[in-house]
Structure 1
Amino acid sequence: MRPIKTALLSALAALALASAPMAQEAAPYRPGPETSGTIKVWTWPNNDRTFQALMPAFNAAYPNIKVEVQGFPNGDSQYLNTLQRALLSNSGPDVAMIEIGVLALLRERPQWVDLAQDPYNADALMSQFAPFAAANVTRPDGKIVALPKHTGPGGLFYRRDIFAEAGLANAPGDVEALFADWNSFIEEGQKVVKPNERWLIANGMEIVSTMMAQRGVNWFDAEGKLQLENPVVLEALQVVDKAADAGLISPFAMWSPEWQGAFGRGQIATIMSGNWFGGLLKRAFAPDDDGKWGVAAAPADSTGNRSFNAGGDHIGILETSQNKEAAWAFISWVVTDGESLKQQYQNDDLYPAWTPAGTTEWINFADPYYDGQNVNEVFAQVQANLIPATLNTDDSVVSAAMQTVVNNIVQGVSTPEQALEQAKAEVAARL
């Protein structure tokens, strides 16, 4: 690999900090366009399709780099297992994606290139990423294991037409006023429900995840202590119970074919999720619903906070890569280049972790899918005000246990108090 002058990088990074709203003008130093080689990139669906769509723009900048993309199902299951096996055997791709839910598990692996070191010096760029995303990829010893790619500022996606049919206001600001808090969300939300035909909420776990994130409570605290005793957990389960009693929660298992199809059939009126969910609605779940959806901030918690993060991804280089220069050219371009970020946002609703992108025209536009709404007016506020999550290697264990007991509440099998004790027992048995 050609050495990259640290002084030049520092000068260009300083220039980037002072420049533009455009992401291209704030881009970090990258290897020159003559850089060549073949690199393998591992990711998951539909991010493999996203990368493939970027290839014409990437090869306009780097015509001599060939990128071979391979997708493995589910970033936190089959993909995770495949990547872990590769890390343990010192094999695998040049570049690999990391989903936020498993970042705590993977960032401790020594097989990641330290991007804080020469010739990358990515620490000079961290101030240009969303602070919580930059912190998540930076270990206590200063090692940067990956670059933040996208975040998941969350909101309430809702069906404008269903709200109007039910006699409810359907402009984003009016919806936020209507759903001022969780009690009003349940009370007013009952008006859109048709028993055994249409529901307000896709899955009870949305309520738990959103309420905990609004309060800055995660499965574990910064010291690694389990947080199931935190009062907000039981409070969230009690809201789930009220919503279930009111018939608001659909019977469909999350990510099942029935759950996915319910959005296009008009059976689910809202979902609380990260910005990226809009890409699934547009291209997979409800592609014919232009103008029917809107986005509002989620119901406020007892402190008045409506903001939460739900998702995010990162991209790093493996030490075993035989072409780290081309790998660095690729990952730095993907997460900072204006054309890259524009295509990922407008084609797949992927929200940039690279903050200079937030003031561009391409992220602030009247989106016809949302009846002309500029949804970044919601998501930018969320990203600015959300409480960063504390990630832990055992998050998936607790999340799985909680999803089970939430389903038990919805099905009337357990009370919130019983469900919480069941979750504690399940987690204790697995940890």
Structure 2
Amino acid sequence: MSLTTRRTRLAAAALAAVTAVGGLAACGSDDDSNSGEGGKPAKLVVDTFGEMGYDELVKQYEQQSGIKIELRKTAQLGEYRPKLVRYLATGRGAADVTALEEGILNEFKANPRNWVDLAPLIDDHSKEYLPWKWELGKAPDGRLIGLPTDVGSLAVCYRKDLFQAAGLPTERDQVSALWPDWNGFHAAGKKYKDATGKAFIDSITAVSNGVLFQQGSDLFYDKENNIIADSSPAVKAAWDTATSMSDISAKAATWSPEWSGGFKQGTFAATFCPSWMLGIVADNSGEANKGKWDVAAVPGGGGNWGGSWLAVPEQSAHQKEAAKLAEFLTNATSQVEAFKLKGPLPTNLEALKNEAFLSYTNEYFSDAPTGKIFGESVAKIEPVHLGPKHQAVKENALEPALRSFENGQANKDKAWEQFVKDAAIQGAF
């Protein structure tokens, strides 16, 4: 059976399953008893992953609207996606407002009937966001199913105290000058390890993400959504760069307990920080390490790792009110406040010009001018083509293969062969 035929049959099977899901949507996430005065809901539920900076914003909305907002956070996208799949498959349990990350967006856009068309429920905001970001929130049939939240402009977070102990520069401009390219980054890492005997970076999977999302091209899929994992120049560049740095790695896989604990313990001195990662680094590092972290440029220029949209599942019993909440959470003022709290980088054009954003300095990260650092890179970001199962290929094929090499379980060639095999399985739809 040809790959194209196999993909077509799998796609048909997936469509049939999703169509069945659509028939269950009327069950809703809440029953009609969830009503307050005047028919408005007593409560709306918001589902997010990682840190999106909504903690204070939902409190503001509660005061403005009189509606209780329940914010359900899931730490990892890998845990979040299966929950969402289950909610849609059973027709109940989904939040009224649901975050969709770029790595899973296309997968869930495939059946727009699971999502409310937001356009009739809110004002026209089509000219207020980065144009490509707004367009990606549309389903294949043109319906608006997602409102833009953030993008994930890349940088490097590093520990100044650990750099100083290794005899490396500590000022952010000097640190950035250490690595104009990835070879420079590796050289700095080797100097650090030679001086301290300790690992420089958290893991080579973090390196692969940094390189992968700089490419501005097709990654695991071509434009027709055929798997090209074994021939993608972007993937090969990420693979070769990442595997070359196993000698400076702490082998702490992102989101693992070793990784979370490593921030406090100083297990590694640097990690790659899309803007949304700032809040996670601060939370993992704790108050004792405040002022020890700083932010420098990423090797090789900019890049975009991550970014999301807010959608309203069809099963929500309060679609209009949910759409208004999503509209509030993604407006210019809210995007600036979310950035200041946890780091998600605005996509609203007014927010990107806001003086409170541009002049913002992050106290935890040594008063780094994060508004300026990340804001200047936004105009350079180009959308990367992510296929329908991008996240599954990255998390269940690429990263396990890299870890098997990093941990000495397979040589580079064997690990690559495993990646190509797993990518074909994980990427089918």
**TM-score, normalised with respect to structure 2:** 0.82
Is residue 35–residue 326 contact of structure 1 (8 Å, CA) maintained in 2?
no
Q: Provide the residue aligned with 2:312 in structure 1.
A: 317
Q: Is the 8 A contact 1:214 1:387 kept in 2?
A: no
Equivalent in the alignment of 1:83: 84
Task: Give the whole-Å Cα distance in 2 for the aligned partners of 1:161 and 1:373.
Answer: 15
Partner residue of 2:10? none
Distance apart, 1:288 and its partner CA: 2.0
Contact 1:76 1:102 in 2 (8 A): no
> For residue 356 of structure 1, what is the amino acid of its counterpart?
E
**Maintained 8 Å contact 2:220/2:232:** no
SS at match of 2:269: strand
Q: How far apart, in 1, do the equivalents of 2:373 and 2:39 lie?
A: 40
8 Å CA contact retained: 2:340, 2:360: no
Cα–Cα, structure 1 residues 175 and 81, in superposed 2: closer, same or farther, change >3 Å? Answer: same
Q: Does 1:156 align with 2:187?
A: no
- How far apart are 1:47 and its partner, in Å? 4.9
Aligned AA (1:95): V
Tell whether 2:379 aligns with 1:377: no
CA distance in 1, matches of 2:401, 2:196: 22
1:404 to 2:400 alignment:
yes
Aligned residues: 384
Give the distance between the partners of 1:131 and 1:278, measured in 2 at CA: 25
User: Match of 1:41?
Assistant: 45
Question: Residue 362 of structure 2 is aligned with which of 360, 367, 371?
Answer: 367
Unaligned runs of 5+ in 2: 1-37
CA RMSD, 1 decimal: 2.5
Structure 1 position 197, deviation (Å): 5.9
Q: Which residue of 2 aligns with 1:425?
A: 421
Does the CA contact (< 8 Å) of 1:198 and 1:267 recur in 2? yes
Q: Spell out the pairing of 1:215-226 with structure 2 (5 A cutoff).
A: 215-217=215-217, 218-226=219-227
For the residue of structure 2 that corresponds to 1:96, the secondary structure is strand
Partner of residue 345 from structure 2, selected from 346, 351, 365: 351
Distance in 1 (CA, whole Å) between partners of 2:268 and 2:109 is: 37
Alignment of 1:7-406 (within 5 A): 36-44=40-48, 47=51, 50-62=53-65, 64-72=66-74, 74-77=76-79, 79-92=80-93, 93-109=95-111, 110-116=113-119, 118-120=120-122, 124-193=124-193, 198-217=198-217, 218-228=219-229, 229-244=231-246, 247-300=247-300, 306-336=301-331, 338=333, 340-363=334-357, 364-399=359-394, 400-406=396-402
Query: SS in structure 1 opposite 2:213?
Result: helix
Shifted more, 415-424 versus 248-257: the winner is 415-424
CA shift for structure 1 position 73? 5.6
Deviation per CA, 1:166-192: give whole Å up to 9, x if none. 222222222222101111111122122
- Per the TM alignment, residue 130 of structure 1 is displaced from its structure 2 partner at its CA by 2.6
Once structures 1 and 2 are overlaid, which stretch shifts more, 307-316 or 38-47?
A: 38-47
Contact 1:238–1:416 (8 Å) recurs in 2: no
Aligned in 2, Cα 1:345/1:188: closer, same or farther, shift over 3 Å?
same
For 2:425 and 2:316, the matched residues in 1 are separated by 39
1:405-426 deviations in whole A, cap 9, x for unaligned?
Answer: 1112223444434322221122
- What do the CA deviations read for 1:252-306 (whole angstroms, capped 9, x no partner)? 2321212111111122111113111110122233332222111122111xxxxx1
- Identity rate of aligned residues, in percent? 24
Contact 1:199 1:248 in 2 (8 A): yes
Q: 1:359 is matched by which residue type in structure 2?
A: K
Partners of 2:293 and 2:118 lie apart in 1 by: 40
Deviation per CA, 1:184-243: give whole Å up to 9, x if none. Answer: 111122122269963111111122222122112422122112232123433332222321
Corresponding residue SS for 2:377: helix
Please tell me the residue identity of whatever aligns with 1:112: W
Q: Which residue identity lines up with residue 421 of structure 2 in the other structure?
A: A
Matches of 2:276 and 2:257 in 1, distance apart? 19
CA distance in 2, matches of 1:386, 1:178: 23
- Shift of the 135–199 alpha-carbon distance from structure 1 to 2, 3 Å rule, reads farther
* Contact kept? 2:148, 2:310, Cα under 8 Å: yes
